[in-house]
Each structure stands twice: as structure tokens, then as C-alpha cells.
Amino acid sequence: MKVLGIESSCDETAAAVVGAEGLLSDIIHSQTVHEQYGGVVPEVASRAHAENIVATCRAALAGAGIVRPDAVAATSGPGLLGAVLVGHCFAKASAIAWGVPFIGINHLEGHLLAPLLDAPDLEWPWISLLVSGGHTTLYLAEGLGKYRVLGETIDDAAGEAFDKVARVCGLGYPGGPAIEALARHGDAGRFSLPRPLRGQLNLSFSGLKTAVIQLAAREPDANKADIAAAFQDAVVDVLVSRVVRAAAETGVRRVTIGGGVAANTALREALRQTDLELYLPPRARCTDNAAMIALAGRLRLLAGESSALDLTARARWTPSELLPP
Ligand code: KG4
Ligand code: ZN
């Protein structure tokens, strides 16, 4: 069964085909139009998705050497609602036209399952750290559709903190890769920043973000690379300590990561310093992509599930909730 997956929840218009043999094609069109605004403008994102979705899906089908998939999966949330709706409705319409099943996928479940694209033998259960622009959550994934939240941020997402600190350092959007590049030339020990932890396995990034903003205001002549390095060091420390603790508390040593911040080299290297059993997807499968949506759709369909055609798109949706009927 070859499944066309479509992703349009933020600023990537993406389509991919996954079959029994694995990933057959993987097309990502990253919208650059938002750079001039310093962040993703929802309305602009929706229009750009509408412009690009047909060509992106055609390229994915051509890359897989097929003219018609056996099913169509799409991100049905969470995300920018107008953006999600483009891919979600396009997938439904295509499924009707082709007479094949449609399946609406939770974007977060896509990130949770993405490691299986490169490690198909990965066995349940595993701990998953999802760190993106909108989410910072630690999950225990016990089986398909069985995801338990172990901890999450009580305020900002880690990616959001990267983006805000990037702005303070005079860098553009997206901030994460820019901070990572700048931090390479900085001395992380030059400034000491807080490493806030909350409760059992929860996290918090707003205090750290405020500390960086205050530091930049207090020391306007400070080397921005040192600030970037100190900030990145603090985020990595906090994330790694939570993962290590989650593994100790659950007794589950297999760990995967996903979401844009999971592409961060310092985070990946710090995780490699632990004695955990790591499954780190390649960077391109940590950031938003459609391969993970096609894979999640295929696994759900193989489990006998599909979605009704009146399934609505959702701006908010945690993966611990079941798929709507
Ligand atoms: O998962 P994602 O592509 O989109 C969603 O938010 O769903 O994540 C985007 C976030 C942005 O905040 C971006 O700054 C951050 O991931 N990011 C990074 C890196 N690459 C992307 N943060 C730190 N280091 C990176 N290399
Ligand atoms: Zn994402």
C-alpha cells in the first residue's frame, strides 16, 4: 500500500509517498516569503500553500513513480488553522477523486513516529522528546496511538525561545539555526544563565528567555556569540536532564527526538554523551516534513483505521487524544 502524505501545518508545503519498501519520495517546499516579516504570517502561509500544493503533490507522486496512491494522509492539526486546512481539504478532495481512503493525521504523532522511517525495527516503548516552535513535550510512546505525556513546558516552547533570543541578538527568522551558527563562535562560559526546571518532568523557558533579554540590555557591548552560546547551553542542559530523568523514572532507555529544535547539533551531541539508546532521525526528518505524515497514515491504515470525510481540521490537538471518528 502506497500512501501519499501531505503536510501544511506551518510554513512547509510538503508531500511524500511511503510504501512497504519505505520512503519512495519526499518533497518539501519551504516558504521563504516570511523572512521579510521576521516570523510566519498565517494568512500568507495559507496562500503560499494553496499556490504550491498541486506541484508539490505531483512531484511526490512522480518521484515515487505512481499516478495514484492507495490512500491519502494529511496533517489535520495542530497548527495554523488556515494552513492546515489547505493540505487537509486537498487530501480529502484527492481521496474522493481517486476513490481511495483519506486519513487525517495528528502532526505530533507524525513527529513521534518519524524515527521509524530510518529505524523500522525500533521497538516500543520509547521516550520521545518533541521540541518545536509550538511544542516542548516528553512522551512515552507505548504503541501505535498509545502516547502518554510525561512532561511539558508550562510556558514557552523551546523553539519559540530560540526565535525570541535570535531577535534579541539581531538575527532573522527562523532563529534556531541562526543561534546555532552564531553560538559556534561564542564562549558559553562567559555568562551564567538559569536552568529552570518545573515539577516532576515539566519544563519552562520564559524565565531563561527573560534572563537573556535582560542580559542583552544590561551589556549592550557584549559579544552576541557568547550570549547565543550561553543560551543554547542552558536549553540543551535542561532538555537533556529531563530526558535522562524520564528514562530513569520509566525504566525505558530507548530515546528519540523530533521537531525543529531536534535538528540542533549541540542538543544531539549532548544526548550522545549520555548512555541512553538513541534513535536520532536525520535533521530533515526532525523539522516539518510529509514523510512522517505518510508513514503515520500508512501505519494507521494498516491498523484498520481511516477518517470520515467530514473530519475537521484542528488548531489544537494533543496526540494523547484519540483520532476523531
Ligand atoms: O518542528 P518545526 O519545523 O515547526 C513547528 O514548530 O512545528 O520547528 C520549528 C522551530 C523554530 O522555532 C526553529 O527556530 C527551531 O525549530 N529550530 C531550531 C533549529 N532548527 C529549527 N532550533 C535550534 N537549533 C536548530 N538547528
Ligand atoms: Zn512540527
**Would you say the CB of residue 175 lies under 6 angstroms from ligand 1?**
yes
Q: What is the domain extent for residue 80? A: 3-113+288-302
Q: For residues 298 and 240, state if they share a domain.
A: no
pLDDT in tens, 62-110: 999 999 999 999 999 999 999 999 999 999 999 999 999 999 999 999 9
Q: Which candidate, 108, 95, 147, places its Cα nearest to that of 308?
A: 95
**238 in a domain, yes or no?**
yes
**319 in a domain, yes or no?**
no
- CA of residue 260 to ligand 2 center, whole Å: 7
Q: For residues 138 and 265, state if they share a domain.
A: yes
Asked if residues 18 and 2 have their Cβ atoms less than 8 Å apart, the reply is: yes
- The CATH number covering residue 38 comes to 3.30.420.40
pLDDT in tens, 218-243: 999 999 999 999 999 999 999 999 99
Mean pLDDT of the chain: 95
Q: For residues 162 and 55, state if they share a domain.
A: no
Ligand 1 probe mutation, 40, 261, 269, most atoms within 8 A of CB: 261
**Would you say the CB of residue 7 lies under 6 angstroms from ligand 1?**
no
Q: For residues 87 and 127, state if they share a domain.
A: no
**13 in a domain, yes or no?**
yes
Q: Is 106 helix (H, G, I), strand (E, B) or coil?
A: strand
CA distance 139 to 324: 20
CA distance 107 to 123: 21
Using pLDDT thresholds of 50, 70 and 90, give the confidence band for residue 10. Answer: very high
Atom of ligand 1 nearest to the CA of 288: 3
Number of structural domains in the chain = 2
Which ligand is closest to the CA of 75, given by its number?
2
Q: Which residues, chain by chain, have CB under 5 Å from ion ligand 2?
A: 132, 288
Is pTM beyond 0.85? Reply is: yes
| For range 262-275, the mean pLDDT | 98
CA distance 9 to 43: 12
**264 in a domain, yes or no?**
yes
